């Protein structure tokens, strides 16, 4: 009993059943006997360079056509992809497309066994079958690559077959289902059918009696009448779709529909598998880049809008976190699950709008949380695609530029690395810090005591677990410090207004290095009171010590 072992290197089998359109998402399973025989004949022409079918090949194919094979099928599951294919026409200034489904069966490393139980082959025929099998490149559609081996002396146990011919009508039996496959007619049956059919047709074009020669017109009419009927079964297998449709056939001549019994559940549609939760490592910082749809950098918000832009971004993150439900994300909201403000050293998120290219327009947000940003917060930030700007020309587009700790941020390319380095300070910390955004007093100002300017700065440092500053200096009025006058210093949504609507440009000195980023005072979680590390200044610089 000859047999074939069909393996698929890509793990997929693509083949549309006869009578079905590709977009119906059907897969022919098992491969029909007709498809296998056609593939063997086509391989002979393409790889063995047949000009005409050799006698050994004719005998081989006719013996296989005369016996319906049985199959041993592996477990498979169905899958598909969708493609929008261009159709070569334009509509509304765009090329039109059509949706095409590509459905396949996932086989993996398994293989199909095909056995012709009643076919007896000679050694030459088995040798030719082996040559054709080894050179067969695909079975079904061209992306359905196949490796084929001949099973010469295999005699599987009958119970191993899970797809077998079912020629008798009636119930398949419990655990089985009936399917229809395309198979070739036995060569002798086709010869009888063709002879009877063509004799009936040619009766309308009788040859002249006696020795009278038929006219060329009569011969052409007889040839035309028999043209739709190939001369033999092998001739049927070589006809393509265009040929048999052109002659009015609804299916290939010499082909027949046969019923098979197939084990129920042979094709599985896998239930959605819940992916294993991947533990997301908390990060302390996420850098988000900002741009406009047009790429026009002059349309980015001014540095003076640091506070409102940070509030808008914070509101967008909270909206994504909540999605209509109560938000429980302390590192973003600054509140515990029962709604109480967090206690400690300001460990929740600081949203710091940044101007990293020094053009006085905000081009990045640094979201920094010393307590760490968990999986929920990271997912919300990464899903953000846009924010807004008052009076802007359109939405501001967002994308995550970096995520990790300060070591990650320090590896960014120039010029980002330079400005980020100033905000973070050197790895061991910096002893001198200068205002990048105005410091706004969190309490009413008094001339002396804990509510003085120096007292409130020291209190802010202490609340963050930082050492006291040895010197607090109000910077002299320069072109740079004058820019801080124009910053928005009052929160637009939520919170209370500042006790004094005034901003200060300060320089802080410490007797030991202090790590950044350093953000103090009213609105410090939304970009106000941000400092940058500075090199020591000359002693003769004019300044006011407080």
User: Which strand (E) or helix (H) includes residue 5?
Assistant: strand 3-7
Calculate the CA 82 to chain-centre distance: 12
CATH fold for the domain made of 3-185+254-268? Alpha-Beta Plaits (3.30.70)
User: Which strand (E) or helix (H) includes residue 190?
Assistant: helix 187-202
Dist CA 15 CA 103 (whole Å): 8
The conformation of residue 497, written as its DSSP 8-state character, comes to -
Question: How many CA atoms within 13 Å lie on the side-chain side of 437?
Answer: 33
Cis peptide before 332 (omega within 30 of 0): no
The domain segmentation of the chain, as residue ranges, is 3-185+254-268, 281-424, 428-546
For 354, phi and psi rounded to 5 degrees? -130, 150
Structure tokens at 13: 């089998």
Give all strands (DSSP E) within 343-483, no chain letters: 350-354, 364-373, 386-387, 396-404, 430-435, 439-440, 471-474
pLDDT tens digit at each of 546 positions of the chain:
788 999 999 999 999 998 888 888 889 999 999 999 999 999 999 999 999 899 999 999 999 999 999 999 999 999 888 888 888 888 877 888 888 888 999 998 999 999 998 888 899 999 999 999 999 999 998 899 999 999 876 667 777 888 999 876 567 778 889 899 999 999 999 999 999 999 998 888 888 887 788 889 988 999 999 999 999 999 999 999 899 899 999 999 999 999 999 998 888 886 555 667 778 888 889 999 998 887 788 888 888 888 988 888 888 888 888 876 778 888 888 888 877 888 877 888 899 999 888 888 888 999 999 888 888 888 889 888 888 887 666 788 898 988 888 888 888 887 788 888 888 888 888 999 999 899 999 999 898 888 999 999 999 999 888 999 999 989 888 777 788 888 888 887 767 888 888 889 999 999 999 988 999 999 889 989 999 998 544 444 445 555
Give all strands (DSSP E) within 8-162, no chain letters: 12-13, 70-72, 76-91, 94-106, 111-115, 147-151
What is the DSSP secondary-structure string of 303-329? GGGHHHHHHHHHHHHHHHHHTTS----
Cis peptide before 81 (omega within 30 of 0): no
Q: Are 49 and 99 in contact (CB under 8 A)?
A: no
Residue 450 CB neighbours (<10 A): 11
- Strands 267-268 and 76-91 come out as parallel
Order the strands of the 163-165 sheet from edge to edge: 147-151, 3-7, 111-115, 70-72, 163-165, 255-263, 176-184
Closest CA to 244 of 256, 229, 266: 229
What pLDDT score does 132 carry? Answer: 95
CA distances to 400, 420, 446 from 235, rounded to whole Å, are 64, 77, 106
């Amino acid at each position: 009993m000859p047999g074939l072992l069909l393996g698929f290197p890509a793990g997929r089998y693509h083949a549309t059943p006869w009578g079905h359109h590709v977009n119906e998402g059907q897969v022919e399973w098992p491969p029909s006997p007709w498809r296998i025989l056609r593939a063997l004949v086509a391989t002979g022409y393409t790889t063995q360079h047949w000009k005409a079918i050799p006698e050994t090949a004719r005998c081989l194919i006719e013996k296989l056509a005369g016996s319906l094979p049985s199959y041993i099928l592996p477990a498979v599951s169905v899958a598909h992809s969708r493609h929008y294919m261009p159709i070569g026409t334009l509509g509304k200034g765009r090329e039109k497309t059509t949706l095409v489904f590509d459905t396949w069966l996932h086989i993996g490393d398994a293989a199909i066994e095909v056995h012709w139980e009643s076919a007896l082959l000679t050694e030459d025929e088995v040798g030719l079958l082996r040559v054709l099998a080894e050179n067969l490149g695909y079975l079904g559609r061209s992306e359905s690559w196949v490796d084929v081996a001949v099973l010469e002396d295999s005699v599987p146990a009958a119970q191993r077959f899970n797809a077998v011919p079912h020629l008798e009508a009636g119930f398949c039996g419990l655990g089985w289902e009936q399917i229809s496959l395309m198979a070739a007619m036995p060569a002798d049956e086709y010869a009888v059918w063709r002879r009877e059919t063509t004799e009936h047709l040619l009766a309308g074009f009788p040859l002249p009696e006696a020795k009278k020669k038929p006219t060329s017109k009569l011969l052409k009419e007889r040839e035309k009448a028999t043209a739709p009927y190939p001369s033999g079964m092998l001739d049927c297998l070589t006809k393509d779709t265009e040929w048999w449709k052109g002659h009015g056939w609804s299916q290939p001549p010499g082909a027949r529909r046969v019923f098979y019994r197939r084990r129920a559940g042979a094709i599985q549609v896998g239930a959605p598998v819940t992916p294993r939760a991947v533990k997301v490592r908390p990060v302390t910082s996420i850098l988000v880049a900002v741009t406009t749809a047009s790429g026009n950098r002059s349309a980015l918000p001014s540095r003076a809008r640091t506070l409102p832009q940070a509030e808008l971004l914070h509101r967008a993150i909270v909206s994504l976190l909540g999605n209509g439900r109560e938000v429980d994300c302390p590192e973003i909201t600054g509140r515990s699950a029962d709604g109480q403000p967090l206690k400690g050293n300001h460990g929740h998120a600081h949203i710091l709008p940044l101007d990293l290219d020094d053009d006085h327009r905000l081009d990045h947000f640094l979201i920094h949380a010393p307590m760490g940003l968990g999986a929920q917060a990271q997912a919300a930030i990464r899903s953000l695609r846009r924010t807004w700007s008052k009076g802007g020309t359109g939405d501001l587009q967002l994308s995550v530029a970096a995520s990790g700790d300060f070591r990650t941020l320090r590896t960014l390319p120039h010029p980002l690395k330079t400005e980020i380095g100033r905000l973070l300070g050197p790895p061991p910390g910096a002893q001198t810090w200068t205002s990048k955004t105005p410091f706004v007093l969190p309490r009413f100002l008094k001339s002396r005591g804990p509510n003085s300017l120096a007292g409130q700065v020291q209190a802010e440092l202490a609340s963050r677990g930082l050492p006291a500053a040895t010197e607090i200096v109000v910077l002299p009025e320069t072109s740079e410090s004058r820019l801080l006058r124009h910053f928005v210093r009052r929160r637009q949504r939520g919170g209370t207004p500042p006790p004094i609507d005034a901003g200060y440009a300060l320089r802080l000195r410490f007797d030991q290095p202090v790590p950044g980023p350093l953000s103090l005072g009213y609105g410090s979680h939304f970009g106000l009171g941000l400092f940058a590390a500075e090199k020591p200044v000359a002693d003769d610089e004019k300044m006011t010590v407080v």
